[in-house]
Structure 1
Amino acid sequence: MNDLPPLAWLQAFEVAARTLSFTAAGQELGVTQAAISQRVRLLEDRLGQKLFVRHPRSLSLTPAGQSWLPSLQDGFTRLAEGTREVFGETGETPVTLRTTPVVQQNWLAPRLCAFRREYPDVALRIISAIWPDDFGPEGADIEIRYGQGRWSGMEAVSLGSDTMLPVCAPALAERITEPADLAEHTLLHAVGFEVGWPAWLEAVGMPELTSRCVPLTCDTQTMTLSLAALGEGIALTHRRLVENRDDLVAALDWPVNSDEAFWLVRPMRPRARPEAAILWEWLKGQVVL
């Protein structure tokens, strides 16, 4: 244990590596940006290797930092688990659920309203993830992820098969009767999905439209749906995410299947807290296969 660096240095590195920001790490740990920077430098000196590449306005992890971070996070997780097992929960800790903004807005929000009416004493905390790397064991009891359901160390329950279809404002939909009509409109792309516009157009037999349509690319599906609702183009999305919206309708009722889907996910270890188990079972009951 004499070779283990001080806990404050390890915390500074873990938070800075997770946020890729000394400023954000300082805010999370309640110290200054300078203090985080100093602790990381002391840690690097102790280890004899650089953990970050310091760019003019950003940070990135070195290969050594990338390799070490999962082990360090697992160590913190095990320490927290052991503390809970021996001493129990300290204070009222909310159940934390993490998912993407589009799932929060279109699928989760109405269901959480019903959950809170049924379980008003369960404290909740909802946090956002946009990119796959935003997900992970740190800080969330339950997650709703998008993918194929294969995540090491995680229990995953499918939220049901889904299809991708083009949606737009009702007034715009009146002018679209076949895929060829899309050539006259902007296609709103959301990055990160296996079935995007090129795959959908190929599936409906019109791959040439990929180069003929005007593209507008966003990094979140929330933004593409907002633009589509305003009449600025046509978005490709999951049917279940727009089934309860009246500002978006199917531009064409040509759904295309995807191997990817939404999954309810939680760590296999440790045993879930009672409040988190309540939310997990309740959300499982919302699954429509």
Structure 2
Amino acid sequence: MSALPPLLWLQAFESAARTLSFTAAGNELGVTQAAISQRIRLLEDRLGQKLFVRHARSLTLSPAGQAWLPSIHDAFARISEGTSEVFGVTSEQPVTLRSTPVIQQSWLAPRLIQLHHQHPHLSLRLVSAIWPDDFGPEGADIEIRYGRGEWSGVEMWPLGDEELLPVCSPRIAQGLTSPEALAGHTLLHAVGFGVGWPGWLQTAGVAHLEAECHALTCDNQVMTLALASQGGGVALTHRRLFEQRDDLVAPFSISVPTDERFWLVRPSRRHVSDEATAVWQWLQNAIA
């Protein structure tokens, strides 16, 4: 072979070979049984030999699998030892929390400061994601996702109902005495949301104004809010996020509801550490 198989495939083999169960391996790695089965099949195709003998209700290693397993165990042991030598040994694994940058900045940051003050022993690792495909059960203990909650294999807790409203810098707000005054201004669009500027303009009774406004589109709300705070236009954002900022004002009281919302999410099939459970429960209490 010219290259080693992907690490995810090797992890699937090591876990399945140790537990002799695709289901147990999936629980250990935080993925489905089907995902483990697929990775093993891809690995066997790459190697050109079967690694497992599949029985009706059980699983055993093939001769090739038995011969290869010690090398895989040694390889993972060397990686673990090398990691400890270079980066040190920690008594606990960090709790990985994944969310969009705007939620991290506007909602999560002040709460994590409170969490750290109350539980300084907890180790956290934050990971950013923007698009729906960035999310998933692998690699994260807890997530904050945005959508309608139509995900399988996870436990969900809503942050609450959402509504969107325009926000801008105080200087621009001085001239926005009514929705009609938006004519000629730049509307800052963040893609990926079910409700956007067309929905708000229609609710405000000025749908025709979209053709009279300039448009600037970004792939995330962090950028639209940054532009809005610096006088670059008027952004549409969630009231929950706006309430955490002091550099933006809402020139109108009109808001538009959306059936999408932010959710606290964690995989339902994964073994949950005590630290991850503590962070989950703390965030739930912070939402309540």
Give the TM-score normalised by structure 2: 0.70
Is contact 1:144-1:263 (8 Å) kept? yes
* Per-residue CA distance 1:93-132 (angstroms, 9 max, x = gap): 1000000000000000000000000000010000000100
Task: Give the Cα–Cα distance (whole angstroms) in 1 for the partners of residues 114 and 264 of structure 2.
Answer: 18
Q: In the aligned structure 2, how far is the partner of 1:177 from the partner of 1:247?
A: 19
Q: Which residue is equivalent to 1:10?
A: 6
Q: CA distance change for structure 1 residues 281 and 211 in 2, over 3 Å: closer, same or farther?
A: same
Q: Kindly indicate whether the alpha-carbon contact (under 8 Å) linking 1:234 and 1:251 is maintained by their aligned counterparts in 2.
A: no
CA distance in 2, matches of 1:203, 1:222: 24
**SS of residue paired to 1:202:** helix
Q: Determine the structure 2 residue equivalent to 1:191.
A: 191
> 1:208 and 1:275, CA in 2 relative to 1: closer, same or farther beyond 3 A?
same
| 1:28 counterpart residue number | none
Match of 2:58 in 1: none
CA, structure 1 residues 44+205, in 2 after alignment: closer, same or farther (shift >3 Å)? farther
Identity between Structure 1 and Structure 2 (%): 57
Q: Secondary structure at the match of 1:116?
A: helix
Q: 1:14 to 1:200 in 2, by over 3 A?
A: farther
Relative distance call for 1:47 and 1:213 in structure 2 (3 A) is farther
**Would you say 1:214 and 2:210 are equivalent positions?**
no
Give the superposition deviation at 1:270: 2.0
**Structure 1 match to 2:52:** none
Partner of 1:104: 104
The residue number in structure 1 matching 2:146 is 146
- Offset at 1:8? 4.3
Q: What one-letter code is carried by the residue in structure 1 that aligns with 2:199?
A: A
Code of the aligned partner of 1:259: D
Select the structure with the greater relative contact order (CA < 8 A; seq sep ≥ 6): 2
Paired residue secondary structure (1:249):
coil
Q: Is the 8 A contact 2:145 2:265 kept in 1?
A: yes
Partner AA of 1:155 in structure 2: E
1:98-247 mapped onto 2 (5 Å cutoff):
98-247=98-247
User: What secondary structure sits across from 2:207 in the alignment?
Assistant: coil
Structure 2: gaps of 5 or more residues: 12-41, 49-89
**Aligned residue for 1:249?**
249
Contact 2:5 2:46 in 1 (8 A): no
For 2:144, the aligned partner's letter is I
> Is the CA contact 1:154–1:267 (under 8 Å) kept in the aligned structure 2?
yes
The Cα shift of 1:184 comes to 2.2
Amino acid at match of 1:212: E
**In the TM superposition, what are the counterparts of 1:84-99 in structure 2 within 5 Å?**
91-99=91-99
CA offsets, 1:169-223, max 9 Å, x none? 1121111121111112100000001111111111222111122110000111000
Residues 162 and 259, structure 2, Cα contact 8 Å, conserved in 1:
no
Letter in 1 for 2:102: V
**Aligned residues of 1:144 and 1:262 also touching (Cα < 8 A):** yes
**Contact 1:180–1:206 under 8 Å retained in 2:** yes
Relative distance call for 1:44 and 1:170 in structure 2 (3 A) is: farther
Whole-Å Cα distance in 2 between the matches of residues 146 and 228 of structure 1? Answer: 22
Task: Report what 1:74 is aligned to.
Answer: none
> In structure 2, what is the equivalent of residue 83 of structure 1?
none
Q: Deviations over 1:233-277 (max 9, x none)?
A: 000000110112111010211111000000000011123110000
Q: Which amino acid aligns with 1:179?
A: P
Distance 1:236 1:47, change over 3 A: farther
For 1:242 and 1:44, the matched residues in 2 are separated by 52
TM-score (norm 1): 0.70
